[in-house]
Structure 1
Amino acid sequence: MRAAIQPGEDETAKAQRRRLTRRLVAVQEEQRLRLSRELHDDLGQMLASVALELHSIRADSAELDARLARAAQLVDQLSTRVHDAAWSLRPADLDRLGLRASVEDLASMLCAQLGIPCDVDLEALSRPLEPEVALTLYRIAQEALTNIGKHARPSRVSVTAHIWDKRLRLTVEDNGDGFDGDVAPGSRHLGLAGMKERLALIGGELTVETAKGKGTAIYADVPLPD
């Protein structure tokens, strides 16, 4: 005989799963922070020391000087990559400067790399937010802008935040290639799924508007406390 399902059991199970998932996300972010610090503080400093030594060495021949210069250049490039990797894992600015400055940096870096204009209005992100909410919105902006850089080929990008009806909305838009939401899922779709899951954990919601050749708009809405 099948056991009767008591009212509320489904909701209780869902709540337990949400708590477990949030804890897993928190653990993941703690690991990201630890790895970021190790990359930046330990490996980054070691590479900086090696680069300094290489730049100061002068050999007895032009050939060796050229090889040392090349080695120093490679170490400099590696240092830059280590810094970028540490920053993407857990940007120091998020803890030091806050969400607004961190998202502005993300948008500025992308638009500088693409050589395109960037419209930024993130005053709404200056208000105090729970650390979990701030981190989630940062990750949404990071994933959305990464997708733009990889896939969109836009001539303009817009990143804005506004408060309406007791909700905070972060919007990332581009006028690039867009995509067909009906096609088989690819890497971008997996990224969107991850954004939706992250937002759901804090009671938020993700909306995507896109079409082939029509650009893409991503709206991340999170509730604000009364």
Structure 2
Amino acid sequence: MTDADLRLRELETLHELAHTIANSLEPRETLEQTLKVLIDTGWFSCGEAFLKLEGMLETVAVGLCGYQNIEACQVRPKLLRDAERVMTGNKLTQVNHWQLIPVDNMAVIALSGGNASSPFFEALIDIIRAALKRARLHWRLSEKEIQRSKLLQALLRAQEEERGRISRDLHDQVGQALTGILLGLDAAINHPEDANLAQLKELASITLGDVRRIALDLRPSVLDALGLEAALKRYTREITERYNIQIEILVSVPKRLNPDEETVLYRVAQEALTNIVRHAKAKQASIVLTTTSKWVQLVIEDNGIGFKLEELLAAERIGLTGMRERVELFNGNLSIESSPGKGTSVHARLPLRT
């Protein structure tokens, strides 16, 4: 076979390989098909493909054609160590009868029982690299879509739970209070001389406060009108008045944030402050809201009793799941630091959107 015939055959093989793996969207399948083409076309008689999975190389495909290079195939179990070394160096390497071909930091293909030119191997690497990158990108997009779907479902569950809580508040507090007012008014109509209008007025005032609190929990109008800083100041002022917890607020944000981000951060602060009221036994707390060129960060800290973090997470007493799901839905992250006697710190970070 002349050099021209050999080059033509190499091009035909590369074309067939590119066509075969063009639609492969799974890295393992890409490497399996690569071995099959290279062995079926007679270029090599023995091959093995290694793929980097969770930081370690693993065999994902083995190809044999008859017993043409039985000596090479007998040493195949030793290849993994050589493949790991070759991947680190990222250079085409010959080990005994094997050609070890690293594909960036993604995979290694080992071939034996044949020979090909350096340009063939270089083109082979380019084709496999492109296919693996495409497959991994597809996998990441699929994983993100699955994760996004899970987060949306979790958010819907959280919304339903919130609606249930509000419904109970309306029934247990507002509903019962209004019933008491109606009974008192009926008594006043029938027996004016015995009416305790001052008591009814006080009950109506308390009920009005409960209605305003529930409305504030749903969505404070000040958040839409004046932004996150104003909404946080109003909410913390109410907590201070009702529970005598001193809350310091520091906001260093040059302009209003994206409305969706303001909502997410307000809900995180709301849940964190609710936890402080219910569980922390704190006398002081702080809220710090800052931005960088890429991120907006919210930190809520208290000087309360603190918790063992592992027990805190296991008990799900603090609505961590709901806070985290809201933040992760916007590609952010949330963390909690706490220990007995040292208070609790909640950190939420979101990519800055315009």
TM-score past 0.5 threshold: yes
More displaced, 166-175 or 70-79? 70-79
CA contact (8 A) 2:303 2:343 kept: yes
Deviation sequence 1:14-50 (CA, Å, 0-9, x none)? 3334554676658959x97xx99xx9xxx9xxx7xx8
State yes or no: 1:214 paired with 2:337.
no
Identity of aligned residues (%): 32
Structure 1 residue 157, shift from structure 2 partner: 0.8
Provide closer, same or farther for how the CA distance between residues 60 and 182 of structure 1 changes in structure 2, counting only shifts above 3 A: closer
Q: Distance in 1 between matches of 2:294 and 2:272?
A: 24
State yes or no: 1:188 paired with 2:317.
yes
Q: Could you tell me which of 295, 298, 302 is aligned with 1:174?
A: 302
CA contact (8 A) 2:152 2:329 kept: no
Q: Secondary structure at the match of 2:324?
A: helix
Q: Distance in 1 between matches of 2:268 and 2:217?
A: 13
State yes or no: 1:86 paired with 2:215.
yes
- Higher alpha-carbon Rg: 2
CA contact (8 A) 1:107 1:159 kept: no
Structure 1 residue 140, shift from structure 2 partner: 0.4
Structure 1 residue 82, shift from structure 2 partner: 1.8
- The aligned counterpart of 2:199 is 70
Q: Distance in 2 between matches of 1:17 and 1:104?
A: 37
Structure 1 residue 165, shift from structure 2 partner: 5.4
Q: Secondary structure at the match of 1:220?
A: strand
Structure 1 residue 92, shift from structure 2 partner: 1.4
Q: Could you tell me which of 253, 263, 266 is aligned with 1:135?
A: 263
Structure 1 residue 141, shift from structure 2 partner: 0.4
Structure 1 residue 168, shift from structure 2 partner: 1.3
Q: Could you tell me which of 240, 247, 257 is aligned with 1:118?
A: 247
Provide closer, same or farther for how the CA distance between residues 129 and 21 of structure 1 changes in structure 2, counting only shifts above 3 A: farther
**Could you list the runs of 5+ residues in structure 2 that have no partner in the other structure?**
1-23, 28-134
Relative contact order: is structure 1 or structure 2 higher (C-alpha 8 Å, sep ≥ 6)?
A: 1
Q: Could you tell me which of 221, 233, 240 is aligned with 1:104?
A: 233
State yes or no: 1:15 paired with 2:118.
no
Q: Distance in 1 between matches of 2:346 and 2:140?
A: 29
Q: Distance in 1 between matches of 2:226 and 2:147?
A: 30
Structure 1 residue 144, shift from structure 2 partner: 0.4
**Could you list the runs of 5+ residues in structure 1 that have no partner in the other structure?**
none
More displaced, 20-29 or 215-224? 20-29
Deviation sequence 1:87-143 (CA, Å, 0-9, x none)? 10111111122111011112222222222322111242x623222111100100000
Larger % of strand: which? 2
Q: Secondary structure at the match of 2:299?
A: strand
* RMSD (Å) for aligned C-alpha atoms: 3.5
Count of residues in correspondence between the two structures: 205
Q: Secondary structure at the match of 2:309?
A: coil
TM-score (norm 1): 0.74
CA contact (8 A) 2:227 2:256 kept: no
Q: Distance in 1 between matches of 2:311 and 2:151?
A: 30
CA contact (8 A) 2:332 2:349 kept: yes
TM-score (norm 2): 0.50
More displaced, 212-221 or 89-98? 89-98
Structure 1 residue 179, shift from structure 2 partner: 0.7
Q: Secondary structure at the match of 1:102?
A: helix
CA contact (8 A) 1:106 1:145 kept: no
